[in-house]
Structure 1
Amino acid sequence: MTTDQHGLAMSGASAAAVRHYDQAIDELLHFRVEVDAETNAALTESPDFPMGNVLSAYLGLLTTEVEDARTARVRFGAFRRRIDETSLLPRERAHVAAVQALLDGDFLTCGRLLGEITVRHPRDALALAAGHQVDFFTGDARSLRDRIGGALSGWREDDRHFGHVLGMYAFGLEEAGHYDRSEQVGLRAVELNARDVWGIHAVVHTYEMQGRFGDGVRYLDARLPDWSAGTFFNIHNWWHYCLYALESGDVPRALAVYDSVLADGQSCMELLDAAALLWRLHLEGSGQPELDERWRALADAWPGRVSEPFYAFNDMHAVMAYVGAGRVGDAEKLIATREAYVLEPRPGVTNRDMTLRVGLPVCRAIVAFGRQDYPAVVDLLYPIRHRINEFGGSHAQRDAVQKTLLEAALRGGLQDVARVLVSERINVRPCSPYNWLKQAALADALGRDAEAATARLRAGDLVRDAARG
């Protein structure tokens, strides 16, 4: 019997395996690729080390990659057959149950079981990190906030990973709409650990949701060495950088970042960032000759990633890539497989419900947008616009769906719907140039020239004010 770096008892591990496990947790919290090597080293030292096997399974399951999940399922099943689970410590048995729920496709039960672990063991960094990701994948803002907030009292300022816990909490606060508090907590997290890329990411999200794109660019520029390399999360933070560029109207800058960083993405997470950026450009009418080659390369990267249903949020981005590349037939084939998938009863499989309630309507709407059937886009998206969170992602990521709905309403001449959507956006983020430009487009459609000119001037003023800081 031994303990990890946070004082939690563990069984079945040599001293060397524990050292590798502790380092793996540190690498995980830093989003560094070395987490895999350290986890494998721990299991080489002690193949039946329960928490090492649990960590390995989470790593395979939380990538949302079908092949990684398949490998994790085989390895974890072999581990369970080799051991006597009654000999495990209660916390270890609880983790095994949580992993098995995730292997079975039940994100919600996994999240609940991980929450029960942190009630008893608030210093279980793995339970917090895995649970935080499950909450992200299910779009549960309240749990993103309270899972971490409820554990904070179990940590001390001088704990090695206290800053990382604060970084997770900052992101939960942001997703739950507590922007002032999120910024405060996120900045403190990064003060404690300058290379906490999740904490940096939380601050960036806070600025995004408030329309503070100038502050966001300056924050990322000032910390470029801390987040732009040495982590498997750097592409996503570069994606946020591109969002700020688009908000300021700097399309060439966004495309330059795309070509130098996003275009080389390999994982589902990286591919969806690429699709999400190109789709925003597509919505704004960026010419096809300018984007064609980028769309083709991106569409070619998706088929193996979505060959079978696994995570509806990924499906949406694959459909974006197919539609952007003019491969509507491929998009329709993917949708057809998901339509067949949801017809089969799959008790407890979270992705089935995600696909049925949100994934399929969104994918169909993207295809309809590609066909310029804008009323169909509105018919599909308007009824579900307040529950799009159910298939995961962040507010910033899901805004691509909201922008698709708004653009379809404008192009389809559905002016009452467009008015509602623009009004909602401006009153939440009055400092967003994008929102004022859409107000101008609506005013143009209504023949209100003075109102359109005023809105465009407002957008221009916001861009200049942001540049001055």
Structure 2
Amino acid sequence: MPAASHLPADPFGNPISVSDTTSRRLIDDFASGFVACESTAANLVTEGHDDDAPLFQAYAAALQMFAETGDAPAAARPHIDRARAGAASATQREQRFIEAVAAWVEGDMRRAVQLHEQQARDFPRDLVSVKLGQYHCFNLGDCAGMLRLGLAALPHAADVPQVHGMVAFGFEQCHRLREAEASARRAITMQRKEPWAHHALAHVMLTEGRLHEGLAFMEDVSETWTGLNSFMVTHNWWHLALFLIDLDRADEALAVHDRHCWGVAKAYSQDQIGAVSLLARLELAGQDVGERWTELGGYLAQHTQDQVLPFLDLQYLYGLARAGRPEADDLLARIEDFAPRAPEASRHAWQKVCVPAAHGLVAHARGEFKKAAEALGTALPRMIEIGGSHAQRDLFGQIHVDALVRSGEGRHLAQALDVVQPQRNGQPESLRLARLADTIHAGLGLPQEPR
């Protein structure tokens, strides 16, 4: 193991055991780009350069895994094997990072998170490790783990704007909204172009019903969303569209979908589920989306055998069903078959949440609203276990409410009122919720609320 004091350092001051100058540049691109959500992170695999340096190969493996497809581990394995083969020449920090990525490739997510947590304690400026650990916690529904990782780095890396953005999102997902807003605003004060902090603050404002303020904020900072990876740019525009939908400006939200959310990287999983979620929300708000499901369904059909994350599969499934594709039945069968043999860390989420939710989503897409209401009602109390954010999982809640309202049963309308009225009380600016509450009140023979 080389003496760290004689080694070059990455952008955050971590020694790296890499001698080739091109490799060092690409590692810097990956480290700074990944933490800042910029497209330069991919330079490490797109420029055609190769290096046996263990850290270089570990980063290449991680980039392959971010495809979030069923064949990603096979693409990543040669890189992680090369990283492990040369690990004796790597630093202690690099060795642990290699093992964390290896655990990811092998599907052992609990071990991966444990290694990232240990890394955050021992090497808190390894911000690639911190952010990757947060990504895994996010996918496991472990909001507290996300926040712990960010807070472990904060005292040692407070000079890095993106660390405050990481902490902000961890606070927000733990429902500590005041601290989330303070952390996000500190990040933005340090660097206006901090899209992850923009994203965290959008979450806070949506949760608190500050819709006009949230829309104005996202419109103002949108000029900085340049050079980002496709997920970050499309996801921030997705958040902007949510404000428009709640403000009853669904036609404008549909234009945002067409211009900024769908078409950046159509083959990428995150862009696809963003489109599914946005089209579904637009329809639930009464907007005609035309033939858009048809094109999207063609891309979703390639994922029937992935089973990487239940959060992804559920949205692929709903999109396929809304597109009228027969692959929806194929994917539903695959989910049922895979759930009992899923990796231990996510098996309960697949079995107890994903399977009933999958049946409910297909039923809703096909107009079987009573079945949808019952199946989704079973899954919703544990929906956090499939991962995703509060705002993303709210899609399933909205579909459930729509099924309750359209089932034609009084008991379901009463359930819908119990969900929607508190939301309406907490978000007085939402015209979407106001119209939905009016529909429920009318169905129950109640007077409408005064505006």
Per the normalisation by structure 1, the TM-score is 0.87
Matches for 1:69-468 after TM superposition, within 5 Å: 69-80=73-84, 82-83=85-86, 85-157=87-159, 162-227=160-225, 230-232=228-230, 233-264=232-263, 265-286=266-287, 290-327=288-325, 329-343=326-340, 345-348=341-344, 350-412=345-407, 413=409, 414-448=412-446, 451-454=447-450, 457=451
What letter corresponds to residue 74 of structure 2 in structure 1? Answer: R
- TM-superposed deviation, 1:7: 3.0
Look up the match of 1:6.
12
- TM-superposed deviation, 1:424: 3.9
Cα gap change, 1:325 to 1:346, in 2 (>3 Å): closer
Separation of aligned partners in 1, 2:96 and 2:238:
36
- TM-superposed deviation, 1:181: 1.8
Pairing partner for 1:25 from 11, 18, 31: 31
Q: Percent identity?
A: 24
- TM-superposed deviation, 1:419: 2.4
- The answer to whether the 8 Å contact 1:95/1:114 transfers is yes
- TM-superposed deviation, 1:40: 6.2
Separation of aligned partners in 2, 1:167 and 1:417:
37
Look up the match of 1:465.
none
- The answer to whether the 8 Å contact 2:11/2:32 transfers is no
- The answer to whether the 8 Å contact 1:94/1:117 transfers is yes
- TM-superposed deviation, 1:444: 0.4
Cα gap change, 1:218 to 1:228, in 2 (>3 Å): farther
- The answer to whether the 8 Å contact 1:16/1:42 transfers is no
- TM-superposed deviation, 1:8: 2.4
- The answer to whether the 8 Å contact 1:228/1:238 transfers is no
Cα gap change, 1:73 to 1:357, in 2 (>3 Å): farther
Look up the match of 2:61.
57
- TM-superposed deviation, 1:312: 1.4
Separation of aligned partners in 2, 1:375 and 1:37:
50
Separation of aligned partners in 1, 2:62 and 2:229:
18
| SS of residue in 2 equivalent to 1:165 | helix
Structure 2, unpaired ranges of 5+: none
- The answer to whether the 8 Å contact 1:30/1:231 transfers is no
Deviates more, 1:115-124 or 1:413-422: 413-422
- TM-superposed deviation, 1:337: 1.2
- The answer to whether the 8 Å contact 1:17/1:41 transfers is no
What letter corresponds to residue 237 of structure 1 in structure 2? Answer: N
| SS of residue in 1 equivalent to 2:289 | helix
- TM-superposed deviation, 1:305: 3.1
Cα gap change, 1:199 to 1:385, in 2 (>3 Å): same
- TM-superposed deviation, 1:409: 1.4
Separation of aligned partners in 2, 1:42 and 1:260:
31
What letter corresponds to residue 98 of structure 2 in structure 1? Answer: V
Separation of aligned partners in 1, 2:128 and 2:353:
30
Separation of aligned partners in 2, 1:165 and 1:37:
22
What letter corresponds to residue 341 of structure 1 in structure 2? Answer: F
- TM-superposed deviation, 1:20: 2.9
Cα gap change, 1:346 to 1:201, in 2 (>3 Å): closer
| SS of residue in 1 equivalent to 2:76 | helix
- The answer to whether the 8 Å contact 2:284/2:402 transfers is yes
- TM-superposed deviation, 1:253: 0.4
Per the normalisation by structure 2, the TM-score is 0.91
Separation of aligned partners in 2, 1:267 and 1:125:
24
Cα gap change, 1:320 to 1:103, in 2 (>3 Å): same
- The answer to whether the 8 Å contact 1:263/1:294 transfers is no
- The answer to whether the 8 Å contact 1:306/1:314 transfers is no
Deviates more, 1:178-187 or 1:121-130: 178-187
Separation of aligned partners in 2, 1:266 and 1:314:
14
Cα gap change, 1:215 to 1:191, in 2 (>3 Å): same
What letter corresponds to residue 393 of structure 2 in structure 1? Answer: R
